[in-house]
Amino acid sequence: MGHDVELSVVAPAHNEAENLPVFVAEVASAMAAIGRSWELIVVDDASTDDGVALLRDLMGRHQQLRVVLLSRRTGQTGALTAGLAVTRGRFIAMLDADCQNEPRDVGLMLEKLEEEALDMVNGWRKTRQDNWLRLVSTRVANWVRNRLTHEHIQDSASGIKVFRAACLERIRLYDGMHRFLPTLFRLEGFRVAEMPVSHRPRSAGRAKYGVWNRVFRALGDALAVRWMRSRLLRYEARELERNDA
């Protein structure tokens, strides 16, 4: 199956009306600098603000912008899955629409992926620009995920990732599993690396995650991934050739 564009950018959004015009403009500028054909897919997760009206207006100004509307709130995994289902790119980038990610990092991550023959590059927000409560809850959640899944991912819940679209044929997401994408890729034998990326403070809108839905959800989801790892099939086989008979 062919690809209409080189790079698809998928961004879930819920009540991010204040950020969307800046976000779309920044993505367009960053993609133009990369110099490849691209598309931006914003998935509106049943927003209750003016986001949909803004996206309609932005579509008129940005030909590469596509919008997917969810009829009811599904959460980040559901929104990402809906966006991934309609991508047309050979490579896929994931970004948060809250303007805390730096879209220009996508080009650097794509270069690393191709130069090192990787399947996924996970953005590591090495210097986080969040308040202390979010920093603590994220670090605890990341520690829980790594401890239970026997992983060493610096920033598994990072919203910025770049990977090969073909890999999705072997990945199935369940609610909350977007936080474990690097681990799920590795379970399928794909090559994953991390790369430090920029992170900016939120200047508009409200964060959708806190201590309760980070730490405690991380525990339950990590147990599910741990079970998947323990049940992973490992075997070697070869087909009998006719001249072996």
CATH of 5-233, one of 3.30.479.30, 3.40.50.2300, 3.30.10.20, 3.90.550.10: 3.90.550.10
Q: pLDDT by residue for the chain (245 residues), tens digit each?
A: 457 899 999 999 999 999 999 999 999 999 999 999 999 999 999 999 999 999 999 999 999 999 999 999 998 899 999 999 999 999 999 999 999 999 999 999 999 999 999 999 999 887 655 554 455 556 655 555 555 555 666 677 788 999 999 999 999 887 777 878 888 898 889 999 999 999 887 767 565 555 555 555 666 566 666 656 666 666 677 776 877 65
Residue 103 has a pLDDT of 96
Q: Among all chains, which residue has been given the structure tokens 């770049």?
A: 162
N- to C-terminal Cα distance for the chain?
38
Cα distance between residue 166 and residue 7, in whole Å: 12
Residue 132 has a pLDDT of 45
Beta-carbon-side half-sphere exposure of residue 38 (alpha carbons within 13 Å): 25
Cα distance between residue 56 and residue 69, in whole Å: 11
Cα 3 vs. chain centroid, distance in angstroms?
A: 20
Total Cβ atoms within 10 A of residue 207: 12
pTM score, two decimals?
0.79
DSSP string, 102-136: -TTHHHHHHHHHHHTT-SEEEEE-SS--S-HHHHH
Note whether 10 and 92 are within 8 A (CB). Answer: yes
Residue 173 has a pLDDT of 81
Sorted by where each begins, the domain ranges of the chain are 5-233
> Which among 27, 5, 191, 37 is positioned nearest to 114, based on CA atoms?
191
Phi, psi of 105 (to 5 degrees): -65, -25
Note whether 54 and 21 are within 8 A (CB). Answer: yes
Residue 170 has a pLDDT of 92
